[in-house]
Amino acid sequence: MPCPEDKLRFAVQFLQIVAMKFDRAFLKSLPNVLVLEHLDGVRRPRTIIELARETGYSGLPTEDPHQLAIWFYQGANKGSLPEYLRGFAHTIAVMQTEEALERAAYEQAEDLSEEGVVYFETRFAPIFHTRQGLTHQQVVAAVLKGLERGRRDFGIHSGLIICAMRNMNVSLDMAELAVDFRQRGVVGLDLAGEEGGYPPKKHVEAFHFIQRENFNITIHAGEGYGKESIWQAIQYCGAHRIGHATRLIDDITVADGKVVKLGDLAQYVLDKRIPLEICLLSNVHTGATPSLAEHPFKLLYEQKFRVMLNTDNRLMSNTTLTREFEVAAETFDLSLEDFEKLTINAMKSAFLPYDERCRFIYSVLKPGYRDTRERMKRNAEVSI
């Protein structure tokens, strides 16, 4: 029977383990959920090079995989959303056939399964993948085929979000396309692209159509523009989730690092539990926030906003979901309990039927974190 001193020592050691710096192997062992990642922003450099050779695309800056990865990262990390988006010209150029699109989705599923992700939502704009004659329907079907193969081979579940583009007058077509494929794996509609000069309210017809169809809406807002973009996304377009929402902090009064008062918009977002798809490293690279330390994530999390962590574009930001959790732990002193809350927030916000979300939470996520705590406890006992 352990003496009181042993029990106290065990308790101290257990707390130390819980509060330890989480290494990548540990973070990969946790079940994760991801809801904001762009299909054309996560390509493997080697695959891009192979597809460029196969299709005769000669625009790549280099054919060395390592150097190409560096080129994408350096080009994206300039503190500007328009600059960040330039690299997509190359990834999109090699995604113009059904085989390339299917491969992109399949490799995305494989890569995320290795990160411990159990469910993810990927998004892309079909309008960019018709240069060689594919129809929008063929483009979407090819991606869904790749995701389905990924589910069969790696056991990872997924949903596809169709993106309308702010600077194009095709949003209603994309909305109709999304609804047409809702029974085959498409789970919602997004509005993406540069925010400045292209407010969400210009696309209300498409989003009113989605609302009438009782379908799902997420909109990029508050990344490259202010809180007005977030307000329009919600109040004009009926967004159920907001991508990034970094500038929501403009509607929050902060003094000495503490929230003093929420504005009407921030209070509404909090009260209505509107999910915020946070992407830490991407937000630094696009200039949405000056630095990780200045990112409003921690303030939003502490105020009980429904936030979650995402990657946005793994290739451009040289990141993974593991890396996003790693930098969040280092910057904001997060614990294992925080990781679990963020992951459950993501699953609560997923564009899945309610019973499926509950199944993931109570049959996959919570048991996974419970097993992790028990494993940590056993390791602590062995060390005594």
The pLDDT assigned to 85 comes to: 86
Instruction: Specify the pTM.
Output: 0.93
The pLDDT assigned to 383 comes to: 61
Phi, psi of 198 (to 5 degrees): -130, 70
The pLDDT assigned to 375 comes to: 87
Report strand pairing: 252-255 vs 258-262: antiparallel
Q: Which residues are catalytic?
A: 223
- 193-213 confidence digits (pLDDT tens): 989 899 999 999 999 999 999
Torsion of CA 318, 323, 325, 330, to 10 degrees: -110
Q: Tell whether the torsion through CA atoms of 310, 313, 317 and 323 is positive or negative.
A: positive
The pLDDT assigned to 17 comes to: 46
Could you tell me the end-to-end alpha-carbon distance of the chain, in angstroms, rounded to an integer?
13
Place of tokens 């400045």: 196
Instruction: Give the SS3 label for residue 21.
Output: coil
The pLDDT assigned to 348 comes to: 98
- 290-327 confidence digits (pLDDT tens): 999 999 999 999 999 999 999 999 999 999 999 999 99
* Amino acid type, 122: T
The 3-state DSSP composition of the chain as helix, strand, coil percent (nearest 5) reads: 55, 15, 30
The pLDDT assigned to 58 comes to: 95
CB of 185 within 8 A of CB of 205? no
Instruction: Give the SS3 label for residue 191.
Output: strand
Kindly give the parts of the chain with pLDDT less than 70. Answer: 1-21, 382-384
The pLDDT assigned to 5 comes to: 56
Place of tokens 């503490």: 258
Q: Which residues of 125-154 are buried (b: 16+ CB within 10 A; e: fewer)?
A: bbbbbeeeebebebbbbbbbbbbbbbbeeb
Q: How far apart are CA 28 and CA 372, in angstroms?
A: 12
DSSP 116-142: TEEEEEEEE-GGGG-TTS--HHHHHHH
The pLDDT assigned to 19 comes to: 46
Q: How far apart are CA 38 and CA 319, in angstroms?
A: 13
The pLDDT assigned to 335 comes to: 94
